[in-house]
Structure 1
Amino acid sequence: MKRIVSFSVLILLLAIGYLIWNPMPVIKLVLKHTNVMNLIRKDSPLPTKEVRERHSVESISVDGANGFWLDKKNSSNGVLIYLHGGAYIKGPFATQWNYVSKMIQKTSMAAFVVDYGMPPKFPFPKGLDGTVRLVEILQNQNLLSGRWFLLGDSAGGGLAVAVAYQLRDLHKPLPNGLILMSPWLDLSMENPDSLLTANDDPMLGKEFLIQSAKEYAPDQDLKNPLLSPIYGNTKGLPPILLQIGTAEIFLADNRKFYENCKQNGVQIQYEEYPEAFHVFMMLDILREARKAVRSQVDFLQK
C-alpha cells in the first residue's frame, strides 16, 4: 500500500510539473468549452485599478474615440499606441491593460491606449477615423516626435494596419514599426484555407466572426482594405513584427499577408508559435507568451 501511495503521489507531482512547464493544452481545453461571447462582455474601457496604481493616467477624447496616456512623462523614450482586440464590438479588457502595463515596465516608454468607437453608436468608419484623428492630435502636439509604434491584437491588429494605410495615404508621419498580434486581417472570412485550422481554434468560430463583422461594418464591402487590410497595398508600410499561433482560424490570412509584405519590400519579421491559440501573448503563464513578448521588446529596441 505504501508503494502504491508513493507512486500515486509521484504521478500527481509529475502531472503538476507538466502543467507548470506546459499549461498550453489545458488552457486550450478550457477555452474550447467557454463561450467567447461571455468572455467579451467583461470588458474594461477604463484603466483597471492595478494599472492606475502603477502608472500616471491622462485622457483625451475626440470623434467617439477615447485615448488614455499611461506614464506620459516617458514619451521622450518612445510611445506605444495600443489598439485593443475584441472583434470590433467589445474591449478593452483587463488582460489587455495588464499587457500594456507590462510593456511599459519592460521598455520604459509611454503608452497611449485607444478605446476607439464601436457599434452600434460608432460603426465603421467612425472607429478608424477617430483613431487616426487621435494620432494626428498627438503629432500636432509634438508628442510623437521621437520613436513611436502601433501595437494591436486581433481586431486591434487589423485596425493598426488600417491606421498605417491612412497615415501613409495622407502623407502623415508613419510609426517606426507595427506589432501585430494574431491580427484579424480579412473580415470577409472568404479564404478557404482558413478552414484548415478552424477546428483547432479554441476561441474563435467563423459564424461569430461573420456576425461581428456585420455589426462593425453594416452594408459595407468587407474587402475594403480599411476593413480587411489583406486586400490593401502594403507598399511603404513601416517595419512589422507579426506574431500568430498555429491553432488559429486567422493563420492562413496571416501567412498570406506576410507574403504580400515581403513581395512589396516591407521589412517584416514573421513568427509562428506551434499549437498556440488566439492572442496567447497576453498570458504570462505561457512560455510561448513570454518568448513572444521578449521578441516584441527586442523589436521595439532595435
Structure 2
Amino acid sequence: MTFLMRAAGNLLALQPNRLRDAATASRIGQAERRDAPIPKRLVRQLEIDDRIIAGLRVRILRPLAGGHNATIIYLHGGAYVNAIATAHWHIIRELVDRTGATVWVPSYELAPESHAQEAYPPLEAIIAEASHAEHPLYLAGDSAGGGLALGLAIAARDRPGPPIAGVFLFSPWVDVTMENPAARVLERADVMLGVDGLAYWGSRWAGAWGVQHPLVSPIFDHLGDLPPTRIYQGERDLFLPDAQRLHDKATAAGSPSVLKTYRDGFHVFVGLTVARESQDVFADIARTMRLTGETRSPS
C-alpha cells in the first residue's frame, strides 16, 4: 500500500462512522440531503449539460475536445440514502479524462422516501435516452451505485432494450441482507462501513421487493448472460467477501468477470483519485474500453 493510501485510511478512521449501527444510521435519512456541487475545476475543464429526464436530474459531462462516442452512465454510492458527494465528481472526472467518454450522472431518488421499485423505471428511461446504435453504452457505479448498476444490467438483459457493452464496479454492494458472516469479520478493519447500519438501509431501500430481489441484491440473480464486468475492490472493505462471491458466481454462470483487489484499500478507495492504486483502476478501465476500439488512448 502506498503512503498516500495509508494516510487517507488513517484520516478516515478519525471520522464518525454513521453506518456502524442501525440507530446511528437511521438518523442519516432525517437530514436534508443535497448533491455536492460540481467542483469549479470540472466546470472549467468539461462541457456540462444539465437535464431533467424521466423526472430525474441528469448531469452529462463531456470532454471539451478529443472525446469519443462511448457513453458511461454512472450511479453514485451512499447506502441508497446519501446524495452525490464531492468524491464522486472526482471519480467521474477521471472517467471522462482517461476514457474520453461522455458520462451521464443521474440523481436517482433515495430512501427512505423512495424504494428500488420506484427507482428503476426512470433509470431505465435514462439508459434508453443515452443509448445510440453506433455508440457503446457502459454502466458504472460505486458501493450502492455499483449494486444498482449491476441491477440495471440484469434488467437490461431480461427485457428488450439497448445492449450494455460492459459494467465497471467500485466496491459494489451486491447483497443488502448483510448476512454473510465474513462481512462481520472484516467489519473490524473497515473504517467507513458497518454491517448493522447497512442492513437497516438495505431493508428500507428494498421496500415491497424485499432484500433478496435480484434488482436489490444482484447476488441472488443467476448472473448468466451478463455483459463483461470488472470489479475493483479494496481488501479493508467489508464488501470484499460478497465481491468475491459475485465474481465466482458470474464466472460459473459463463459471464465474463474480472475481480481486481487492492491490499489495504478502503471502501471506494478510487475516490482518492491521485493514489497509485486508483490510477491503476482508471488505467485498467481505459485499457479495457480501448481494446475494443471504442475510446481514445488514456491521457
Aligned 8 A contact 1:72 1:111 in 2: no
Q: How do 1:57-206 residues align onto structure 2 when only pairs under 5 Å count?
A: 57-71=48-62, 76-139=68-131, 142=132, 145-206=134-195
- One-letter amino acid of the structure 2 residue matched with residue 22 of structure 1: F
State the distance in 2 between where 1:167 and 1:66 align: 21
Q: Look up the match of 2:229.
A: 240
Question: How many residues of Structure 1 are paired with residues of Structure 2 in the alignment?
Answer: 279
Secondary structure of the corresponding residue to residue 56 of structure 1: strand
Deviation at 1:294, TM superposition (A): 1.3
Q: How do 1:12-91 residues align onto structure 2 when only pairs under 5 Å count?
A: 21-37=2-18, 44=35, 46-71=37-62, 76-91=68-83
TM-score (norm 2): 0.86
Q: Look up the match of 1:259.
A: 248
State the distance in 2 between where 1:78 and 1:226 align: 25
Greater RCO (CA < 8 Å, at least 6 residues apart): 2
State the distance in 1 between where 2:287 and 2:68 align: 18
Q: Flag structure 1 segments of 5+ consecutive residues without an equivalent.
A: 1-18
Secondary structure of the corresponding residue to residue 113 of structure 1: strand
1:200-240 CA-to-partner distances (Å, cap 9, x unmatched) read 11110112212222332345410111000000121111001
- One-letter amino acid of the structure 1 residue matched with residue 166 of structure 2: G
Deviation at 1:277, TM superposition (A): 0.7
2:262 paired with 1:273: yes
Deviation at 1:82, TM superposition (A): 0.7
State the distance in 1 between where 2:95 and 2:47 align: 15
Secondary structure of the corresponding residue to residue 152 of structure 2: helix
- One-letter amino acid of the structure 1 residue matched with residue 103 of structure 2: A
Aligned 8 A contact 1:247 1:277 in 2: yes
State the distance in 2 between where 1:75 and 1:68 align: 17
TM-score (norm 1): 0.85
Q: Percent identity?
A: 25
State the distance in 2 between where 1:299 and 1:132 align: 25
State the distance in 2 between where 1:43 and 1:285 align: 26
Q: Look up the match of 2:297.
A: none
Distance change (3 Å), C-alpha of 1:166 and 1:128? same
Q: How do 1:213-228 residues align onto structure 2 when only pairs under 5 Å count?
A: 213-218=202-207, 220-228=209-217
Q: Look up the match of 1:288.
A: 277
CA RMSD of aligned residues (A): 2.3
State the distance in 1 between where 2:201 and 2:118 align: 16
Deviation at 1:127, TM superposition (A): 1.9
State the distance in 1 between where 2:37 and 2:264 align: 32
1:251-297 CA-to-partner distances (Å, cap 9, x unmatched) read 11010010001101111111011111100011023221121221121
State the distance in 1 between where 2:269 and 2:86 align: 15
Aligned 8 A contact 2:156 2:162 in 1: yes
Distance change (3 Å), C-alpha of 1:72 and 1:289? closer
